């Protein structure tokens, strides 16, 4: 008997037929004797509809009230899933994030989990019930309803798996697992059977949309084994687990393209100590995540700073921060560029194989793809390029690093 946390995303519960099919899958697992905690997202489309309603009454909605509004999506799906399970004769109970003991800070719309008090979940598991928890949400100070931001339901699942010492955390989605590249970009991409937390972390943070980086970080920190798999079939998915020695044999595990970032350039900043710091303080205070940063060599006592941020935050920067940045940093202007893509190659094999960065730059150069920004870590190399070149770049790297189905042939794991 295992204790398993399962998470079903919005597309897996997008209508009542899907909810019933998820319920049947859960019942099967429970009939095998597993302890089940199930985390559910809002039914596909519900969150978007709620956001549209909010914009109709207020184009610039307050985040506390948006959390209040959006948290209802998950609350509806947990109740419906519990009802569907009852209909199959499977004992089940639903909890909101707050009821499940998920305590967060007060950063509305992207709250951080502070702690989990799983008393109620444990009690109900002991009573033999499947416990269904609303993903994406928690309780802030003074009982405020908070949401965890994008990918928040995955985070709920991983955090519960850690708090409840679950054997496995399964993330059910509409893809079969994690691929060596986005199959829409590289049609010969293969499903990866096993991947380390670190590799998955880099792939996630680089735009492989299967899971958000935060959840994988959390899983790594607490040693949670994750399985990403499809809710539409019974095939095993991709296991994201702690690193083992043999994983280094593969130099590049996957290639990704991220088209969710925008590049900002703040020009002609007086090159004096504290100016760059001030710029990023303002962004940090507004809870905007800055990814890559490049500062030009100073000329005539002035410099330009380029950096990337989520495109979703551009509006907020334009409306609320741009004036302040220009004034406090004494910049000439702020340039916005949304037409970029970040292309990355990831693999823990890089540690033991040299020259991977040079090879990547060569592959891109041979295809006339210009590199605008570069960032590297121990196990990944990222390049910002023009957005329209993203697909071409991914295919070229995927083939050149031998990741395709045909390239590997019999050596396929």
Residues contributing to the site for its own copies (CB under 8 A)? 16, 19-20, 23, 50, 53-54, 56-62, 64-66, 68-69, 71-72, 75-76, 78-84, 86-87, 93-94, 96, 98-99, 120, 142-145
Q: How far is CA 75 from CA 80, 90, 122, 132, in A?
A: 9, 20, 20, 10
**Cα(31)–Cα(148) distance, rounded to whole angstroms?**
32
To the nearest whole angstrom, how small is the minimum distance from the Cβ of residue 71 to its own copies? 7
Report which DSSP code applies to 348: G
Compute, in degrees rounded to 10, the torsion defined by CA atoms 293, 403, 395, 391.
-50
Three-class SS state of 108: coil
Q: Between 140 and 404, name the residue whose CB sits nearer to its own copies.
A: 140
Q: Between 64 and 353, name the residue whose CB sits nearer to its own copies.
A: 64
Q: Between 73 and 347, name the residue whose CB sits nearer to its own copies.
A: 73
Q: Between 50 and 168, name the residue whose CB sits nearer to its own copies.
A: 50
For the record, the structure tokens of 211 come out as 């899971």
To the nearest whole angstrom, how small is the minimum distance from the Cβ of residue 90 to its own copies? 11
Closest by CA to 183, choosing from 213, 208, 200, is 208
Q: Between 69 and 374, name the residue whose CB sits nearer to its own copies.
A: 69
HSE toward the beta carbon, residue 317, CA cutoff 13 A = 28
Q: Between 42 and 373, name the residue whose CB sits nearer to its own copies.
A: 42
SS3 of 352-403: the string is CCCCHHHHHHHHHHHCCCCCCEEEEECCEEEEEEEHHHHHHHHHHHHHHCCC
To the nearest whole angstrom, how small is the minimum distance from the Cβ of residue 306 to its own copies? 35
To the nearest whole angstrom, how small is the minimum distance from the Cβ of residue 93 to its own copies? 8
Q: Between 60 and 332, name the residue whose CB sits nearer to its own copies.
A: 60
Closest by CA to 135, choosing from 212, 208, 195, is 212
**String of b and e for 54-74 (b: at least 16 CB within 10 Å)?**
beeeeeeeebeebbebbbbbb
Q: Between 63 and 387, name the residue whose CB sits nearer to its own copies.
A: 63
- Which run of H or E residues covers position 152? helix 152-163
To the nearest whole angstrom, how small is the minimum distance from the Cβ of residue 43 to its own copies? 9
To the nearest whole angstrom, how small is the minimum distance from the Cβ of residue 120 to its own copies? 7
- Which run of H or E residues covers position 336? strand 334-337
Q: E strands along 80-177, which residues?
A: 92-95, 102-104, 113-116, 130-134, 137-139, 145-147, 168-173
To the nearest whole angstrom, how small is the minimum distance from the Cβ of residue 47 to its own copies? 12
């Amino acid at each position: 008997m295992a204790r398993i946390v399962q998470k079903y995303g919005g597309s897996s519960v997008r209508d009542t037929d899907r909810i019933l099919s998820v319920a049947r899958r859960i019942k099967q697992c429970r009939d095998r004797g597993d302890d089940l905690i199930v985390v559910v997202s809002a039914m596909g489309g519900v969150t978007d509809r709620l956001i549209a309603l909010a914009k109709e009454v207020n184009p610039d909605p307050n985040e506390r009230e948006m959390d209040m509004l959006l948290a209802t999506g998950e609350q509806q799906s947990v109740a419906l899933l519990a009802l569907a399970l009852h209909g199959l004769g499977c004992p089940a109970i639903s909890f909101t994030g707050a009821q499940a003991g998920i305590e967060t800070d007060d950063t509305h719309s992207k709250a951080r989990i502070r702690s989990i008090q799983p008393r109620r979940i444990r009690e109900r598991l002991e009573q033999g019930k499947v416990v269904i928890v609303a993903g994406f949400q928690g309780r802030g100070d003074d009982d405020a309803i908070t949401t965890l931001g994008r990918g928040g339901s995955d985070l709920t699942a991983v955090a519960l798996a850690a708090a409840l010492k679950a054997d496995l955390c399964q993330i059910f989605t509409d893809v079969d697992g994690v691929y060596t590249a986005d199959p829409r970009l590289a049609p010969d991409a293969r499903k990866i059977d096993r991947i380390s937390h670190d590799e998955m972390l880099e792939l996630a943070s680089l735009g492989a949309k299967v899971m958000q980086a935060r959840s994988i970080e959390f899983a790594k920190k607490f040693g949670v084994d994750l399985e990403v798999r499809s809710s539409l079939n019974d095939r095993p998915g991709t296991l994201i687990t702690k690193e083992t020695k043999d994983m280094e044999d593969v130099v590049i595990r996957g290639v990704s393209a991220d088209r969710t970032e925008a590049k900002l350039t703040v020009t002609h900043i007086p090159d004096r100590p504290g100016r760059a710091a001030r710029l990023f303080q303002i962004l940090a205070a507004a809870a905007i995540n800055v990814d890559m940063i490049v500062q030009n060599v100073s000329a005539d006592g002035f410099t330009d700073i380029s950096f990337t941020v989520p495109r979703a935050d551009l509006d907020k920067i334009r409306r609320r921060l741009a004036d302040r940045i220009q004034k406090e940093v004494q910049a000439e202007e702020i340039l916005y560029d949304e037409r970029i893509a970040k292309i990355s190659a990831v693999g823990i094999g890089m540690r033991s194989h040299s020259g991977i960065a040079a090879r990547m730059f060569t592959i891109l150069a041979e295809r006339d793809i210009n590199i605008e920004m570069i960032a590297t870590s121990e196990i990944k190399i990222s390049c910002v390029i023009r957005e329209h070149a993203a697909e071409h770049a991914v295919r070229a790297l995927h083939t050149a690093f031998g990741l395709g189905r045909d390239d590997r042939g019999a050596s396929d794991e």
